[in-house]
Amino acid sequence: MKNGISRFDHYLTLLQALLDKAAKQKNPALWLYQNNARTPLFMLEALAKLYAGIHNKKKFGKLKEQFKVLEDMLGAIDYYDCFAKEFAANKQIPATLTTYIQAQSREKIQSLNETLKEKEWIAEGKSRIEKIRKKLSKADWQKEKEETTGIYNFYVLTIKEMLNFINQKNFHFENVEADVHELRRKLRWLSIYPQALRGCIQLSKAKTTPKYLAKYLTKEITGSAYNIMPDAADHKHFLLLEKNHFYALSWMIAELGKLKDTGLRVVVVEEALLQTTNAREKEALKKAYQLLGSGQSTLQQLLDKAEELCRVYFKEKNLEQLVTGTATIYQK
């Protein structure tokens, strides 16, 4: 079995096992959410996104959208559910707002249940997974060396597009979701691909480490299990990423994630106020800050902080130094 289809097969098997168990539950969508179905979907979406870039754009682009729909729906459940649980323990948040957010969570769960059936992710007879496997079996998979070169080119192009994105913004962010969250999504894919590809991406360490990288090399980052590359297994051709710049990438993803979550806390309370009261936008935003307390940063403060972090990170040209090349292991 070629490496490409083997990678899809691994995560499709994990997802199928979860779907089979979910089908036996009273509330399949809730069960999938509670049992981390989002992780194999992330990996499958990453694979489809990458192979759309190096293989067949149409075929894998369609697969990516299928995985993305489920992943996004699980993400929406997570968004409302996490804030509902947080606010339920916060006496400063009115019960009417918490009730609204809980209702949104239930609505997202119901929508996912409907999609699971309509799109035959859970179905009698031929399921969505079987159809996907059939399509993948017909793909003209590349040999390992050719594929690794394609992955290298894909990383280089992806980084170039990301730099264009940040240059267009000129380090100026106006919206937590459209700017901070979107940039984090783009950066995060670079750290997800190595896990999804299961061994063909490894880390290499430069002979010297620039002093400016020290701020990124925290114990939390260097000791994270997410920053350990999958075992190389029987791969002979590899894409190499510079270790400390990969850590710097991971640090940026984590920090932008903290800012994004803090900002979305304001956004969700503002939404709840707009939907449950007669408040207008400016009034609702002001009230949201009051309810969340003096420790809550304003959206502008968070955007300013994100701009500052990005300005430093990108001016250091960390992304440009992430990919160091490819390597081949020759066996006798």
pLDDT tens-digit map of 202-247:
999 988 999 999 999 999 999 999 899 999 988 999 999 999 999 9
Q: Which two tokens stand for residue 139?
A: 């793909």
Q: Does residue 41 carry a pLDDT above 70? A: yes
pLDDT for residue 330: 64
pLDDT (tens digit per residue) in 113-148: 999 999 999 977 668 999 999 999 999 999 999 999
pLDDT (tens digit per residue) in 242-278: 999 999 999 999 999 999 999 999 999 999 999 999 9
- pLDDT tier, 169 (very low <50, low <70, confident <90, very high otherwise): confident
Q: Does residue 151 carry a pLDDT above 90? A: yes
Q: Does residue 332 carry a pLDDT above 50? A: no
Phi/psi-derived region of residue 228, left when phi > 0, alpha when psi is between -120 and 50, beta in every other case: beta
Of all residues in the chain, what percent carry a pLDDT higher than 90? 90
pLDDT (tens digit per residue) in 177-209: 989 999 999 999 999 999 999 999 999 998 899
CB 323 within 8 A of CB 156: yes
What number is the average pLDDT over the span 78-102?
A: 97
- Cβ atoms within 10 Å, residue 211: 7
- pLDDT tier, 160 (very low <50, low <70, confident <90, very high otherwise): very high
Phi/psi-derived region of residue 205, left when phi > 0, alpha when psi is between -120 and 50, beta in every other case: beta
Q: Does residue 331 carry a pLDDT above 90? A: no
CB 30 within 8 A of CB 109: yes
Residues 96-107: b if buried by 16+ CB within 10 A, e if exposed? ebbebbbebbee
- pLDDT tier, 50 (very low <50, low <70, confident <90, very high otherwise): very high
pLDDT for residue 124: 75
pLDDT for residue 233: 86
Q: Does residue 311 carry a pLDDT above 60? A: yes
What number is the average pLDDT over the span 293-322?
A: 96
Q: What's the whole-number average pLDDT of the chain?
A: 95
- pLDDT tier, 329 (very low <50, low <70, confident <90, very high otherwise): confident
Half-sphere exposure of 131 (CA within 13 A, CB side): 13
What number is the average pLDDT over the span 78-99?
A: 96
